Amino acid sequence: MSLYPMSGNFVGIILEAIKALDPYRDRLRIETDDISTLMVGPPDVLFAAMRDLFVSAAASGEHCVLSAAISRGCPGEPDDAICGVGLSSSRSEPLAERVEAAIAAVRDTTETGQPTAAQFSLYVMGTGTHMDEIYGCIDFLKRSGTFDRSKNFCTKLRGDAGAIFATIHEAFHRFGDPEGHVTLDITVSANSPSKA
């Protein structure tokens, strides 16, 4: 995960924003270098931490972007124990039921007050049915309330930061084989001077 404040005060904005991670630190393994920060932990904690970090940085009023690659089930790198139990057996529910559950989860999310745009790609690897899961996820996204439009190779969202991160969280944990290798490439933006 990387946070990009488009400001000469980017260091100050980042140092202030990372305080928002404090409530989550005991449930995450966090390592930072000059390019990005690794966060390892359960999906619900990870997405809440990213949301709070982003909302805190965006509150500066500067154009801020959070970019992240999110992975589960990588065959070369088993998930750490800190990630908790595997995805529940409910992930083996039929695709249509998972779509409805994901829509409900986004609808029930608390607002943050931060208008946000985002785009992301979902990669489901190592299975012959990966496009079925992606199409199921796209169906969910179109009915999520945050759908903006389909773009080449990704989906664009718009809405409150709470709903945006909830949508991405649902896409990540509810689609693809529960034990499979699934990754997301996400870009979340606030306060852009560009027209939408």
Which positions touch its own copies (CB under 8 A)? Answer: 2, 4-11, 32-36, 38, 40, 63, 65, 67, 69, 71, 74-77, 117-119, 121, 123-128, 130-131, 134-135, 151-154, 156, 183, 185, 187, 189, 192-196
Q: In the complex with its own copies, which residue's Cβ is closer, 7 or 178?
A: 7
Nearer to its own copies, 67 or 93 (CB): 67
Distance CA 133, CA 97 (A): 13
Residue 64: closest CA among 110, 18, 122: 18
CB of 56 to its own copies, least distance (A): 17
20 or 124: CB nearest its own copies: 124
Supply the minimum distance, in Å, between the C-beta of residue 185 and its own copies: 5
Encoding tokens for residue 100? 């409805």
Please give the C-alpha separations between residue 57 and each of 24, 26, 75, 188, in angstroms, as whole numbers. Answer: 17, 21, 34, 12
The residue to which tokens 């140092």 are assigned: 15
Shortest reach from residue 108's CB to its own copies, in Å: 26
- DSSP assignment string, 87-124: SPGGGGS-HHHHHHHHHHHHHTPPP-S-EEEEEEEEEE
* Minimum distance, C-beta of residue 80 to its own copies, in the bound complex (Å): 9
CB-wise, 84 or 90, nearer to its own copies?
Answer: 84
Cα separation, 37 vs 1, whole angstroms: 5
74, 123, 174, 175 from 130: Cα distances, Å: 15, 8, 13, 10
Between 93 and 147, whose beta carbon lies closer to its own copies? 147
Alpha carbons 105 and 170: distance in angstroms, whole number:
8
* Shortest distance in whole angstroms from residue 184 CB to its own copies: 9
